Structure formats: C-alpha cells, structure tokens
C-alpha cells in the first residue's frame, strides 16, 4: 500500500494539480469568449521558458522565477488576443478556433528560434526525497507543486466569489449580451480572463519543468488531458476544472499500478486515459460533473 502511495498516488496528485491549473484557463476562456483555445498549452511553454531564462541568469530557485514566467505569458496572451482573436470576435467561433491553432504554431516556432529545441531542466542532479515514518517518501518538488496548487485554488475561489471582477466574469459567462446591457465592461472582463488564464498556464508550465524537464512540446503534450479535465469538471466552471484535473491526473498514474498482480494498463498508454474519459463524458454527460456549458 505504501508503494502505491509513494509511486502512484502522490505523482498522480502532482500531475493532476498541473492539469487543474491549465484546465482552469481553458474553461474560463471557453465560458467567457466562447471558443476552445488550442494555443493554451503553448502559453504554458512560454511561461516555462521564461522562468528557465531567469533561473539561468540569476540562479534563483524556479519557484521564485514564477512571477517572471507569469508576466511573459500574460504579455503573450494579451498580444495574441489583440492581434489575432479580437478581429475575429464577431465572426463564427470556428474562425477563432482555427486561428488558435495558428497561434499555437507561431508561439512554438518562436520558442524554438529563441531557446532552441533541446530539453532543459531547472535543477540538475538527484534530489533526495523527504522521508516520514521510514516508509513514506515524497519528493520536495511534489510538496511544492501540490501545496502551491492548494493556495492558488483558494485564492482563485475567493477572487471569483467575492471580488467585483469575479462577479462580472460570472455574469459575462452566463449571458454576455445581458451583462453588456447592465453596464459591465466586457472588454475589461475579457482582458482579465486572459490575464488569469495565462498566469495559471505559466505556473503550470513551471511546475511541469520542475517535475520533469522543459521542452518545446511541453504544453502541447498536456493539451488533451487539460481539455479532458475542463470537460470533466464542466466547461465554464473553474473549480470543476480543478476537480477534473485532479481526477484525470490520479487516474492516469494509478491505472499502471498492479492492483491484481499485473498493471491495468502499460505506462506507455497512460495518455490514452484522458482521451477515453473525454469521449465517454461527451457521450454520457456532456455538461460535466458540475453542469457546465454544453459545447
């Protein structure tokens, strides 16, 4: 049992925390701007490389480089919205969705030009895990990722529930036209949606780099599980996306545990779990666990 906790459950919660942070942005963008943002994973990559640059230059720990990663991702998101998405806002959604694919390719190509194509790491060498009760082992980076996600989730809940902007964002998500008539500045709401989504994506990107490594396909590889998490929780429901991310991450890691003497699924096929969950959910419960917006 302790092996299951050490090597499957804790890594699953860690992976789920990363999915959760990325899925929140996807869910919010769809809920307010009404389109699936396929460049969201590449915003994660932008943030991860932004933090990597700061770590290279200053030598500070990766967690302290998060503000720089967030700033770079926000600039990238707002620039992409202004240049590529805003001119298409009055057109059918499919135009913006296709544009987001193009933006993803642009961001990835810029990353490759600026930082190269080789995989990089924030911290070199082996890091000893924390050991409790002689048997329970947990990596320091996992503690940092999980604890940070809990704090961020709490702050996000407070912001969306009690701040004026949070209430405006919920109003626009429910009915943008009615919110506009009521005097809500929808352009400002959209701007804050990009800021929050990009910030969370950047943090998730740094966490991926902290847990594994940083490479140009980092965010793209995480995109499908994050969409599955957003769908599982309910599109337009940020806290639902967090729940969905945790479920996807834990299930992905735990399906390779030998519960009955053999692994339920080979580790090489773990990524298929998110796809299966997403398809099953679209068929059986398209509104998600928290009854979000239908696609």
Distance of CA 114 to the CA centre of its chain: 23
The pLDDT, as a whole number, for residue 279 is 84
Q: Could you tell me which residues come within 8 angstroms of residue 111 by beta carbon, excluding any fewer than 6 positions away? A: 42, 45, 46, 49, 216
How far is Cα 9 from Cα 57, in angstroms, rounded to an integer?
35
Point out the least confidently predicted range of 139-148, 168-177, 281-290: 281-290
What would the mean pLDDT of 93-111 be, rounded to a whole number?
96
Point out the least confidently predicted range of 10-14, 112-116, 121-125, 261-265: 261-265
The pLDDT, as a whole number, for residue 292 is 66
The pLDDT, as a whole number, for residue 167 is 93
| DSSP codes of every residue in 176-191 | HHHHHHTT--HHHHHH
What would the mean pLDDT of 77-86 be, rounded to a whole number?
96
How far is Cα 214 from Cα 206, in angstroms, rounded to an integer?
8
The pLDDT, as a whole number, for residue 295 is 54
Residue 125 has pLDDT above 70, yes or no: no
By residue count, the chain amounts to 295
Point out the least confidently predicted range of 102-106, 110-114, 124-128: 124-128
Domains, the chain: 2-284 (1.10.3470)
The DSSP code for 139 is: -
Model confidence at 243, pLDDT cuts 50, 70, 90, reads very high
Residue 149 has pLDDT above 60, yes or no: yes
**Averaged pLDDT score across all residues of the chain:** 90
How far is Cα 38 from Cα 46, in angstroms, rounded to an integer?
14
């Amino acid at each position: 049992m302790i092996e299951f906790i050490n090597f499957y459950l804790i890594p699953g919660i860690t992976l789920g925390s990363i999915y959760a942070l990325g899925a929140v942005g996807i869910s919010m963008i769809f809920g307010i701007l009404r389109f699936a943002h396929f460049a969201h994973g590449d915003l994660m990559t932008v943030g991860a490389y932004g933090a990597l640059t700061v770590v290279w230059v200053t030598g500070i720990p990766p967690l302290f480089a998060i503000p720089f990663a967030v700033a770079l991702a926000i600039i990238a998101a707002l620039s992409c919205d202004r240049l590529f998405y805003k001119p298409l806002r009055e057109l059918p959604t499919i135009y913006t969705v296709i544009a987001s694919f193009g933006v993803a390719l642009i961001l990835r190509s810029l990353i490759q030009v600026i930082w190269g194509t080789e995989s990089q790491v924030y911290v070199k060498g082996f890091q000893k895990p924390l050991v409790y009760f002689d048997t329970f082992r947990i990596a320091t980076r996992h503690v940092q990722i999980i604890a940070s996600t809990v704090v961020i989730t709490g702050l996000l809940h407070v912001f969306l529930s009690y701040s004026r902007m949070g209430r405006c964002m919920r109003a626009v998500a429910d009915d943008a036209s009615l919110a506009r008539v009521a005097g809500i500045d929808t352009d400002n709401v959209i701007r804050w949606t990009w800021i929050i989504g990009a910030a969370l994506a950047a943090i998730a990107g740094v966490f991926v780099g902290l847990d594994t490594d940083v490479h140009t396909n980092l965010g793209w590889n995480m995109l499908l599980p994050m969409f599955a998490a957003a769908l599982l929780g309910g599109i337009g429901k940020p806290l639902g996306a967090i729940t969905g991310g945790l479920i996807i991450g834990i299930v992905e890691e735990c399906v390779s545990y030998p519960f009955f003497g053999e692994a339920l699924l080979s580790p090489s096929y773990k990524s298929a779990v998110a796809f299966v969950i997403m398809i099953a959910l679209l068929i059986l419960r398209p509104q998600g666990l928290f009854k979000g917006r239908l696609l």
